[in-house]
A and B are shown apart, each in its own frame.
Chain A
Amino acid sequence: MDTIILIMQAATLFIFGTMGEVLSQRSGVLNLGLEGMMVVGSLTGFAAATLSGSPWIGLAAAMIAGGLMSLIHGFIVITLRQSQVVSGMALTIFGLGLTAYVGKHFLMVGAPPRVPTIVSGITPLLFLGLALVPLTWFVIYRTRFGLIVRAVGEDPEAADTAGINVARVRYICVFIGGMMAGLAGAYLSLAYSPMWREGMTAGRGWICIALAFFSMWRPAMVLIGAELFGGLWILQFKLQGMDIPVISSIFTSPYLLMMIPYLATVLIVTLVMSNEKLRKRIGGPAALGVPYERSS
């Protein structure tokens, strides 16, 4: 029972980060800056909560910080039409560097005001994460906004011809994605392991990106993926604490375990991308990574 809760707690972070990334990618924008936005969220959340004394203000501040950072990404890739990969990577490096520098002042501060728990260590954020799954599904598949997002991500030219402002839709999705990354970061520093440590996101942002592909941009699959890798994350910690013979430790090495999301992603991406029919059926964002420019 405890283990299940542990897993779900770890998974909540993945749900936040991945859901945002999924929305952003659905609109056609790859956000490799997730790790950077997340860690900025962690520090902003930690700092704001410590200074104000309220974890809620911390969460809100983290979301704003993540959102603002994503707007930089949006400006570079949507307005200036520069490489999404380069911009995202740069923002990740920027976020990690900035928080390492600014975060020095918060290293000795001690525990922040943490997000209150409802029952036995479960925060409302865990339920928020679970609620996000049907909510995102509904938005993507049942609302006009979702329809527009799917169209913009798959065929921006067709969307443009239908009178949709492609750039605006992408900005909105990237911004929401950034806010979710900020939330994921603050969840880490205010609820999951309430403290501030340099680089405390430890690659979770990258896992979220892998999960976005793994999920094939579907909310239900995000949940499954998040729980699965939440489980792996916990397993890795448990294994570290055990005394395991050298031979089998090759298979239980935390590094190898953490490779699994990426391996699974490579596998799925290969499967999906090599099968045209499947790709059409899934309706993934065909224009992912491609800047849109009206030809005139």
Chain B
Amino acid sequence: MREEKTIDIDFRQGCKPGDMVLELRNITKRFPGVLANDHINFDVKAGEVHALLGENGAGKTTLMNIIYGLYQPDEGEIYLRGKKVVIRSPLDAIALGIGMVHQRFKLVPSLTVAENIILGLREGGIIGRMKRVVERIEKLSEKYSLQVDPSARIWQLSAGEKQRVEILKMLYRNAQILVLDEPTSILTPAEAEQLSLLLRRMATQEMAVVPFITHKLPEVIATSNRVTVLRRGRVVEEIRTDQTNPRDLARKMVGKSVLFQLKKPEIAPGDPVLEIKNLRALNDKGIMALKGISLTIRESEILGIAGVAGNGQSELAEVIAGLRGVLSGEIIFSGEDITGLSTRRRIEKGIGHIPEEYMIGVVPDFSVADNLVLDKYFEKPFSRRWGLDHKAVERFAEEMIPRYNIRTPSKETPAIHLSGGNLQKLILAREISHHPRLLITNLPTHGLDVGAAEFIQNQLLALKLEKCAILLISEDLDEIMSVSDRIAVFYEGRITGMVPAAEAVKDNLGAWMAGVKL
């Protein structure tokens, strides 16, 4: 039994801007222990970009998964151009002209771009006729200026390119409603701007209606016509974008005023904790990623590393954490050469590492409590003679969950059920509670809402009081400039500039990021 799904609804015909296209009424979705969506009303009109804003775990992804048929709502209805529809699977959604670009990409790495695009479609029969497919992809990518090579394999592509493939995949399926779940979180600022332009153009010209999920305020302002703010599964406000501002939105999203203010402790840097001399290392593809890096971080000092992703920052973090070998150079930690030490020995010496991809930092099937002690189960008080002291683990979790505001139904919930931002908080809680002497943080506030990001930035600043040295890798220049004491800019594996944060000028940093020597 195979249902043939064709797109029989093209509401772009006879549809004026402002016409109601998709309407969600009273959508409720419960997960064990959480009310992820609580009687949500949400609609999408032709010709506009409707942003869905909310802090981590507010229920944004859940709601969009319901539109795309991945989850079934417990209550509520969905109307498409006034007709009630039931969306049982992504297949149904696609047939109705609804496409989705997920927070985490759903592309098969070893297949080509074109193969991924036609995957699951009835057309193309025998792929011998791939030429037609490629031609159509090329036409689409030209029309929307989504440059990508149809014959490239997915694993060869950058995050930005993968996203273009995802969008093309949906356009190829004639998607008229495009759901984008945090599309910019993996993009560089320039790419994000491009995407924002694309979405606006698609919405107005093609009348593809674009609900756009995010928790980044400037993006909402720049991209959308309307915003719906979600808090703890409920709609708190629906407002036209031109009638609001970031501060107002932040307050609605978090439920209280966000200060946009960091508590910087006044404390002078002490002795050097980490000294790196002329470090060279390769990346995964065997290309030189670090071409002679030298830097020093002192006690109570935050060194910010700015730069566009992929210029060697992640490799630097991995080399210091002991996850990547070096070709030459020295890593000196508290006066001791640790270049050859194992990761575990480095952890014991007090080096903490928060990797950029939060899924790497947790064991998905382990409970929140177990994940919180992942790096210290062998220490007191968690380790007893024959095993773990579960009581101690639980006590620790009970203390950490409220302190770091980790939104989880319970401490026994498997980590995989946490939203992305909450996973990030979990890892941070674990690493910081370890009282590291050196903390390497790679994009620590990536994917976090303003409130959570500020919380974490304040936590990092507070670590300075414990004489911790911090290496902060970030693509967010505002974050780097407000949190760090000194800033180093990476470009193609080299440091193109280094300044005290107090003297940093944004334009100069930008120029260094582009490889211009001043």
List A residues at the B interface (Cβ < 8 Å). Answer: 141-144, 146-148, 150-151, 154-155, 157-164, 276-277, 280-284, 286, 294-296
Contact = CB atoms under 8 A, between A and B. Distances in A.
Nearest to B102: A161
Given A141-B127, A150-B111, A280-B110, 7 more contacts: A151-B111, A159-B120, A163-B90, A280-B155, A283-B110, A283-B111, A296-B72
B107 A163 contact: no
B379 interface: no
13 contacts: A142-B126, A143-B127, A144-B118, A144-B124, A158-B107, A161-B90, A162-B106, A163-B90, A164-B119, A280-B153, A281-B110, A283-B111, A296-B72
Contacts of A143: 125-127
Contact of B115 (A147, A160, A282): A147
B90 A147 contact: no
Interface string B125-143: 1111000000000000000
B428 interface: no
A282 B109 CA distance: 11
Nearest to B100: A161
Nearest to B126: A143
A159 B110 CA distance: 13
How many chain B residues sit at the interface, stated as a range, is 20 to 34
Contacts of B285: 277
Contacts of A280: 109-110, 153, 155
Interface in B81-132: 89-91, 94, 100, 102, 105-111, 115-116, 118-120, 124-128
Given A147-B119, A151-B111, A295-B416, A161 B127 contact: no
A154 B120 contact: no
Nearest to B70: A296
Nearest to A150: B111
A144 B91 CA distance: 17
B71 interface: yes
Contacts of B119: 147-148, 151, 158-159, 162, 164
B284 interface: yes
Contacts of B72: 296
10 A-B pairs with least C-beta separation: A283-B110, A162-B120, A163-B91, A158-B106, A161-B106, A163-B120, A280-B155, A155-B108, A162-B119, A151-B108
Interface of B: 5, 70-72, 89-91, 94, 100, 102, 105-111, 115-116, 118-120, 124-128, 153, 155, 169, 284-285, 416
Most buried by B among A142, A144, A164, A277: A144
Contacts of B106: 155, 157-158, 161-162
Contact of A277 (B90, B125, B128, B284): B284
A161 B70 contact: yes
Contact of A159 (B108, B125, B284): B108
B120 A282 contact: no
Given A160-B90, A161-B90, A163-B94, A282 B70 contact: no
Given A144-B126, A162-B119, A163-B89, A150 B416 contact: no
Nearest to B130: A142
B110 A154 contact: yes
Given A159-B120, A276-B284, A282 B107 contact: no
A218 B303 CA distance: 50
A142 B128 CA distance: 6
B126 A147 contact: no
Contact of B70 (A158, A159, A281, A294): A294
B127 A147 contact: yes
A21 to B, nearest CB: 20
A148 to B, nearest CB: 7
Contacts of A162: 90, 106, 119-120, 169
B416 A148 contact: no
Given A147-B115, A163-B120, A155 B89 contact: no
B127 A142 contact: yes
Nearest to A164: B120
A157 B127 CA distance: 22
A277 B5 CA distance: 37
Nearest to A146: B127
B127 A158 contact: no
A109 B127 CA distance: 50
A282 B126 CA distance: 22
Nearest to A295: B416
A205 B119 CA distance: 33
A225 B32 CA distance: 51
Nearest to A155: B108
A155 B109 contact: yes
Contacts of B120: 148, 159, 162-164
B422 to A, nearest CB: 16
B70 A150 contact: no
A146 B90 CA distance: 21
Nearest to A280: B155
A43 B382 CA distance: 58
Contacts of B102: 161
Contact of B71 (A144, A151, A296): A296
Most buried by B among A143, A159, A161, A276: A161
A157 B105 CA distance: 10
Contact of A144 (B89, B107, B127, B153): B127
Nearest to A160: B90
A154 B5 CA distance: 25
